[in-house]
Amino acid sequence: MSIYLDNAATTPLDADVFNAMTPYLLNHYGNPSSHHAQGRHARQAIEQCRATIAGLINALPEEIVFTSGGTEADNTAILTAVHGYGIQHVITTRFEHHAVLHTLTDLQRKGLIKISFIKHDAKGNLNLGHLEQLLQTHPRSLVSVMHANNEIGNLNDIAQIGDICERYDALFHTDTVQTIGHYRHDLQKLKVHFLAASAHKFHGPKGVGFIFCRKGIHLSQLIHGGGQESRLRAGTENIHGIVGLTKALELAYAHIDEHQQHIQNLKNYMIARLSDEVPGVTFNGNSANADQSLYTVLSVGLPELNYGRNLLRCLDDAEIAVSGGSACSTGSASHVLQAIAAADNKDHVRFSFSKFNTRHEVDHVLEVLHQIYQTLAA
Ligand code: PLP
């Protein structure tokens, strides 16, 4: 029995999304910049997608720019603030994805910005009083804080952070790659200037996403070439990807409460079983706290296996796909687990769920874990 519990790394494509995409690969293959009927059809489809996405998140169509995914959206937001708006100070957290952290450290290395990190407690909760102090000494900063962390699942209060940023005239970027399609976002209420999203985290295709850029802010162009995306992002549009992204977001919003309940129930069930049956189990960050944690992610510290055996490897051998930290940091210690000083005498496993997972699968994972630890004890 093969089980996929690595949905924070990527989600399987929904069959309805695939069906929506195929006509744009096989039949409507026109270049959206072409002036003939095929081109016009493609252009119309893209603009329809932009309007649909804008409608779902209560934004304006012109505030949505399609990108190759979350990484490009994060890079574009940060580089716009620095190159387009002369920002020299960025306030962020130790928990951001490398799409944010590596972009910032590169800018710092080039002498273009100084980075300040918001203090946090041992669970990874941000100290928003410290954010205010930083903004008092550096008003006109960029604040880059993710909505939910991809490794431990901590949720940050981006509504409150937006209010704080507004008081200090700071630009606010939030990476919502793990939460778009899983929570409702209302861009009329949320005081963000930039927001990043990626289709493959909510059963859409890989290699496509979007950046929301608040009306009045001019995006700096990262990729130069043709005049696509209102001259903000060059390159022939990934039309089937954009259609897939839109269908995936529509489906996600149509069933958002039902899926949230199903997945939260699975997560609660796994927390209960692990707590009852695995002595010494711990939960990283706010992972076990339903109100402060992404319902799709459960980050667990399990007793370390002796004799050099690797728990992730044992689970992989049993056809259970999970991650140690984030998939992108495979092979190196997770900066997120380090930031919360997660116990180093534990094997840390991120189980991440989707609407396709079942209670039966969680039962099977527990059975396999029992076998692994029993073999060890024998
Ligand atoms: N930000 C977060 C929080 C993520 O989890 C990811 C993907 O793992 C990204 C950004 C990068 O998104 P993409 O894979 O679409 O480039």
pLDDT profile of the chain (378 residues), mean per 10: 96 98 97 96 98 98 98 98 98 98 98 98 98 96 98 98 98 98 98 98 98 98 95 97 98 98 98 96 96 97 85 95 68 87 89 98 97 75
pLDDT in the model for residue 331 = 56
Distance 27 CA to ligand 1 centre (A): 31
Q: Which residue has the tokens 């059975």?
A: 367
- Measured from the CB, is residue 352 less than 6 Å from ligand 1? no
DSSP string, 8-63: TT--PPPHHHHHHHHHHHHT----TT--SHHHHHHHHHHHHHHHHHHHHTT--GGG
Calculate ∠ Cα 43-48-50, nearest 5°. 95
Q: Is 97 near ligand 1, meaning CB less than 6 Å away? A: yes
Structure tokens at 51: 């309007």
**Tokens for 296?**
């799709």
Provide the 3-class DSSP secondary structure of residue 346: strand
The pLDDT of residue 374: 82
Structure confidence at residue 194 (pLDDT): 98
- 195 DSSP assignment: E
Q: What are phi and psi of 63, to 5 degrees?
A: -90, 0
Find out whether the beta carbon of 328 lies less than 6 Å from any atom of ligand 1.
Answer: yes
**Closest of 95, 79, 138 to residue 329, by C-alpha:** 95
Phi first, then psi: give them for residue 7, nearest 5 degrees. Answer: -75, -10
Query: Is 49 labeled as catalytic in the residue annotation?
Result: no
Q: Which CATH superfamily is domain 3-11+256-377 in?
A: Aspartate Aminotransferase, domain 1 (3.90.1150.10)
Answer whether 175 contacts ligand 1 (Cβ < 6 A).
yes
What does the DSSP 8-state code read for residue 329?
A: G
Alpha-carbon distance 194 to 144, whole Å? 9
- CA 44 to ligand 1 centroid distance, Å: 28
**Smallest CA separation from ligand 1 atom 13, residue:** 70
Q: What is the pLDDT of residue 344?
A: 81
Do 67 and 211 contact (CB within 8 A), yes or no?
yes
Catalytic residue (choose from 49, 165, 314, 328): 328
CA distance 140 to 89: 8
Closest ligand 1 atom number to CA of residue 10 = 8
Ligand 1 midpoint to CA 267 (Å): 22
Q: Helical H runs in the chain?
A: 15-26, 37-56, 70-79, 85, 98-109, 128-137, 158-167, 228-231, 239-254, 256-277, 311-317, 335-339, 359-377
Taken as a whole, the chain contains a residue count of 378
Residue 329 has a pLDDT of 45
Instruction: Please work out whether the CB of residue 98 comes within 6 Å of at least one atom of ligand 1.
Output: no
Contact 198, 209 (CB under 8 A): yes
**Closest by alpha carbon to 281, among 266, 301, 311?**
301
CA–CA separation, 11 vs 177, rounded Å? Answer: 12
Pocket test for ligand 1, best of 67, 68, 71 (most atoms within 8 A of CB): 71
Ligand 1 binding pocket includes 153 (Cβ within 6 Å) = no
* Domain segments of the chain as ranges: 3-11+256-377, 15-254
For the domain covering 15-254, report its CATH number: 3.40.640.10
